[in-house]
Structure 1
Amino acid sequence: MKSAVTPLLNRLLARGKFRHLQVVLKLAELGSVQRTADAFGMTQSSITQTLAYVENLMEAKLFHRHARGVRPTPACMDLLPVARQMMLGLIEGAEIVAARSSQGRTSIRIAASAAAANGLLVRRLPDFHAGYPAIEVLLREAERDDLLMLIARGEVDLVACRHPGVVPTGWTFQPLLDDPLVVVCRPDHPLARSRRVAWSQLGRHAWLLTPAGSVVRERFDNLATQFQDAPVYYPLITRSLSALSTVLQQEQLLSLLPLSIVCGLLQSGDLVALPTREGGTIDPLGLLYPLGHLPEASEALRTFLVRSNEPASLPTPRTPNT
């Protein structure tokens, strides 16, 4: 296997181009030489020649030609995920170099958990940009170990998250925002009109859960011991905010979630928070940043977030009558 891989790798390193990856990915996406040519501002013959060159380089057929266009071969299907990751890496590399070339004066690379992005950053960044219009914020989402990996690789200037348990050497964590847990549902849920909801009542209704092992799920499992009967669980378990919000708006379900995740949906009226306080709070959201002197832009954002810190407050639950 090694003897077959080495010549191929050497050919790709010597003669391969990023444009080749772009053409292969776009052909797989569009399934048409003409549409791919239009997308790149190239001629059909140029796309055809590029594909032939890549197939010759790899000594593998990547697409089946048919009357309606092209279809990826099994070899191409195996290659596509790798090609996508390479292009994403190239894009991220360009962003990193651009941010570094400004020497920290006009760009900030910040990574954030979904909770921190929604609860801590989204509602504060507009005011920050109003005060610092020349500073560009490069925000990316990641969770847990991935955030620490970004720090280890030197790919971020700041990280917004909960306390990671073990703070990386040379960094410090500053808590900024308390994060209570709330029970949420659709505005037309039978419990949405209630002035007060006892936790024992909630066991009679169906629930949408977060994954086992998460802090929120552990809190729910402990509270669920107060239910007289085992509750009904919706057959989707996810931490995806888009999936959670969509399902909760479509189905008559309850879910125990951090306020940071759902504050926007509560304020818009897409969801309501039930008047029960048994959920308690989880670790606050805050900022991980390097000890010592920070680049000018990073220090500006850190200082702004600290000064603008206000305790999270539970939005007034919305009902069909409010």
Structure 2
Amino acid sequence: MQHSASSLLNRLLARGKFRHIQVLLRLAELGSVQRAADAIGMTQSSVTQTLAYLEDLLQIRLFERHARGVRPTPACTDLLPVARQLMLGMADGAELITARQNQGQGLVRLLGSASAINGVLVAALPGFCDRHPQIQVQLAEAEGEDQLLAMARGEVDLVVCRKPPAIPEGWQFHALREDRFVIVARAGHALVGGAPVQPADLACQTWLLLPAGVAGRWRFDALAEAHFPHPPPIYPVVTRALPMLWSLLRSRDLLALLPVNLVQPLLDTGELEVLPFGEPVPIDPIGVLQPASGMGAASQALADFLRSRRDPD
């Protein structure tokens, strides 16, 4: 018998439990009733009964049984993203309640791009926490479309990022720090510390590249086409993973074209140096995206703190 979405929703609200979502996710992740039971702290029979109850509630089969365990059906696969969002929401709720119970002043769900974290938050966030120790900040990293998706879903309170091409409706952007592309190398590189480098010098060096489609890669391709007399050697690892980028740049004689905010912590420690070449190439600034209205006190405090530290005009 088929039911409307409304009637199914009413059944779930009346008879569904958070434990059902946990069992569904663990079974899908582990592929075994016994392993799921061990991970959750239930007996195998309890997991089997919970799954049977959930399948009866939804009136659809969620897992196919086979000799080595279970595998999700197409219907289950469709439900998994929703189930994960529910569990993430529960975890956020638990953090909020715990923060309040510990005499806290609230919680801020903060999302930052890699450049924003390295160029702004690494320096600013510890100072905010020293001033507001009762505000808990949950920081996660995301770029571009993932930031916009989190905002649309209401999963984030503030976003520190590069200025987007279009500001989402109901949000406003406040610039904090200007940015530009720079050529960097480790402190011991032969081109560091001397006179301004020439295009021929750069074309003879080995370059560490970002993946195609990233702004830094477009800028490098334009630089090489406009100034280099011949294509330069390219290091065989192409990545935007920061631990790998930093390890390679610190340990090998490589050059890279990167936003200055992205490499700021390593410039501050002297592990990397900027090579003097041509005029600076500016890019969109780093700033804070915040709701235009309806912000909580904790989020407002963090936004105000970040804006108080913005670069002078």
Q: Taking structure 1 as the reference length, what is the TM-score of the superposition?
A: 0.72
Deviation at 1:224, TM superposition (A): 0.8
- The amino acid that maps onto 2:182 is V
What letter is aligned with 2:287? G
Gaps of 5+ in 2: none
The AA in structure 2 aligned to 1:179 is D
The amino acid across from 1:208 in the alignment is: L
Q: CA deviation at 1:277?
A: 3.9
What amino acid does structure 2 have at the position aligned with 1:135? I
CA separation of 1:247 and 1:54: change in aligned 2, threshold 3 A: farther
- 1:96 deviates by 6.5
- What SS does structure 2 have at the residue aligned with 1:209? coil
Matches within 5 A, 1:194-273: 195-196=194-195, 197-225=197-225, 226-234=227-235, 237-242=238-243, 244-245=245-246, 248=249, 253-267=254-268, 272-273=272-273
Shift of 1:172: 3.3
C-alpha displacement at 1:280, in angstroms? 3.2
- Extract unaligned runs of 5+ from structure 1: 312-322
**Letter in structure 2 aligned against 1:90:** M
2:118 matched residue in structure 1:
118
Deviations 1:24-69 (A, max 9, x none): 4334544554443332222232234334555665336434233xxx
Tell me, in whole angstroms, the C-alpha distance in 2 between the residues paired with 1:117 and 1:160. Answer: 8
Question: What is the rounded CA distance, in whole Å, between the counterparts of 1:223 and 1:165 in structure 2?
Answer: 23
CA shift, 1:294, in A, is 5.0
Aligned 1:73-152 pairs, distance under 5 A? 73=71, 75-76=72-73, 79-80=76-77, 82-92=79-89, 95=92, 106-152=106-152
Q: Give CA deviations for 1:245-298 in whole Å, capped at 9, x if unaligned.
A: 4565677643211122233345567x5234234453322211223446854323
RMSD (Å), alpha carbons: 4.1
Distance 1:243 1:222, change over 3 A: same
Q: Deviations over 1:71-114 (max 9, x none)?
A: x43x4588458515522343136527976998x96233333222
Deviation, structure 1 residue 199: 4.0
How many residue pairs align between the two structures?
300
> 3-state SS of the aligned residue for 1:58?
coil
CA distance in 2, matches of 1:51, 1:222: 57
Identity of aligned residues (%): 41
Summarize the alignment of residues 21-100 of structure 1 with structure 2, pairs less than 5 Å apart.
21-30=21-30, 32-53=32-53, 58-59=60-61, 61-66=63-68, 70=69, 72-73=70-71, 75-76=72-73, 79-80=76-77, 82-92=79-89, 95=92
Using the alignment, how far apart are the partners of 2:216 and 2:44 within structure 1? 53
Q: Counterparts of 1:77 and 1:187 in 2: how far apart (Å)?
A: 54
Q: Determine the structure 1 residue equivalent to 2:182.
A: 182
Tell me the CA shift for residue 177 of structure 1. 1.3
Number of the residue aligned with 1:280:
281
- The separation in 1 between residues aligned to 2:106 and 2:254, in whole angstroms, is 45
Structure 2 distance, partners of 1:60, 1:151, is 31
